[in-house]
Structure formats: structure tokens, C-alpha cells
Amino acid sequence: MNAQQDFSNLIPDVILDAVESLDFWTDARIYPLNSYENRVYQVGIEDSAPLIAKFYRPHRWQRAQIQEEHDTLLALAESGFPLAAPLQINGHTLFQHQGWHFCLTPRLVGQHPEAENLDQLFQIGELIGKLHQALSHQSFQQRPSVSPLEQINQAATDIINSGHMPTKLQSPYQASITKLLSLCEKQMQSFWPHALRPIHGDSHRSNLLMVNNEFHLLDFDDCQNGVAIQDLWLHLTDLSQSRQQLSELIEGYESYAAFDVRELALIDVFKATRIICYAAWLSNRWQDPAFVKAFPWFTSEEYWLNHLNELKACQTEWGQLSL
């Protein structure tokens, strides 16, 4: 793919031509879905249900990494796991059109989980446990492996070098990063799994859909070798309710897979990593006009002050997320 290619070149005619190159006759209706890292569209199909067309961000993943994701999804779907798997056409799931890697999936219609609904948290725990159990006898060979200290260091370096953070805030920011790195390293020295496992990697509420009274997992774009708690802790909404929420998630999880409660001490590590890496993600994608439009507050001093407060809260709340 051309190193200069960006999503501004992904015009409606290209999207429709890509879908029709796989022998689907579109009705020319395109509806963009909420995705910033890639571009995802609902595309109308003549005399049939719409399809979802996903166009991958150039240079983010190698073809082999995307294919391993697809192969995993096909195997899970074959086993009956509820998810949105890519369509297999003439033995292939990953296609190219005018330099774009893309895939098609069926459209799923449903509702996202309700925040703080304990019954649904139990069901989410079941779903994640079922996923981890299904993947327990393999590991990803092409996908990345989680590495919190490396990720924090790289993200912080990217932020400082980007020029987006006001100069006067860089010193307190670096001090917070140093403190959080120390806390993370200490915790990981106390406990870190002997082996990582395949996980979804980004199983927040927006990537879950209730379809016909059953939760389905969407968007495995961040699947990786990681730690079980990574797929659970994102559903904690409030520190004061974390004990009850964790109890429901883990009880559901253990319907299918054993859970090592020592992993609960790693929630703080993954929370800090996610907050820091999210800011770096916005910074690294700032040349994409969609980010400027969707996150206009990112370069404001207020945003960075709030970010520093988030990092301080991580330190203050360290060790309080447990059963």
C-alpha cells in the first residue's frame, strides 16, 4: 500500500466498488459506523440484508496478523461462539481493492449492555469465560503480546515528542509517569502470569451486542496474547461498586474457565496503561481529519490538565480495586 494513502482516498465509489468486486450488487446506500482506528460502513445490498465493510488502517497490521484474527474468528464461529465473523468468499476472508485491505461481515442488530446492570455483568463474565476457554489450547503467533511497561514508556515518549502537551505541564506529566511506572513494575514483580493467553483485548460495552437474548462479541481488531482480567475490568464503572461488579463478572466467568484472583491486583496496571495509551493514540492519529473533528478538545490545556488529574487518581486509588 502506498505510504501516502490515507482515509481521505476512501471515497464512496471506492467503497462500493470494493464490495461489488466480491460479486455483491449494492444499492449505493452507505452508512458510516462509529470507528476511528479503521473505517467501517454498513453497505446496502440489493434484495438482501446490508453487509458491514471494514477497511483497515494502512500500515497498522501486517496481512498475516489480520489473517490470524480472521482464522480465529472463523474457528470460534464454527464452534458456536456468538460473534461477528468475516464472510468467507472463495476460501478467503481478507481482500484488497485499490490498495485497501478490507473484509465483509454480516450485520448484527441488537443492543449494547446497560452499564451497572448486574445480571448483564454476569452474562458478560460468562461470555468472556467461554471465549477464554475456547482459546485456552492455543496462543497467537502473529498478534502482539501485552507489555504494560513498554507500552507506557512508548506512549509517554510519543506524547512528549508530539508537541501537543503544553510545555509547562510536561514536567509534572513526566513525574506522574515515573511514579506510575514504579507502581506498575512493583506490582508486576509481585505477580505476573507465567504464560499469556489469547484474549479479545478491547471488550468494552460498545464491542458487545445483545442479539436474540445472547451477547455477541464484536471487533477483535485488538486481539492479542494477554491476561484474563484485561477482558473483564473494563466493565467496572465505579470504584464504590467494584466489589459487587467484579463478583458478578467472575462468577459468570468461572461458569466456563478458572479465574486466578491474583490477577485482580493487575487491574491498576492495565487501567494506568489504558489511560496513558489513549492519550498517545489521539496524539499519534492527529493527522487524521476524523480525529480533529471528533476530538476537538484534545489540544486544549484543559484536556491535558484533566489527563494529569486522571493519572493522579490512578495513584490515589491504587490497590483499591479488589473483591
Task: Out of 219, 221, 231, 268, pick the active-site residue.
Answer: 219
Task: Out of 17, 119, 158, 202, pick the active-site residue.
Answer: 202
Alpha helices in 85-213 (DSSP H): 118-134, 148-162, 167-190
Q: Cα dihedral sign for 246, 208, 280, 303?
A: negative
- Judge whether 298 and 282 are in contact, CB under 8 Å: yes
Locate cell 478467503: which residue?
A: 92
Name the nearest CA neighbour of 229 among 101, 321, 120: 321
Query: Residue 112: what residue type?
Result: H
Name the nearest CA neighbour of 279 among 180, 187, 193, 183: 180
DSSP code of residue 84: -
Which run of H or of E encompasses 179?
A: helix 167-190
Name the nearest CA neighbour of 7 among 66, 63, 54, 75: 54
Cell of 315: 495513584
| Cα-only R_g, the chain | 21
Is 202 a catalytic site residue?
Answer: yes
Query: Residue 173: what residue type?
Result: Y
Cell of 231: 477482558
The number of CA neighbours under 13 Å toward the Cβ of 43 is 26
- Distance CA(311)–CA(277), nearest Å, equals 12
> Mind telling me the catalytic residues?
202, 219
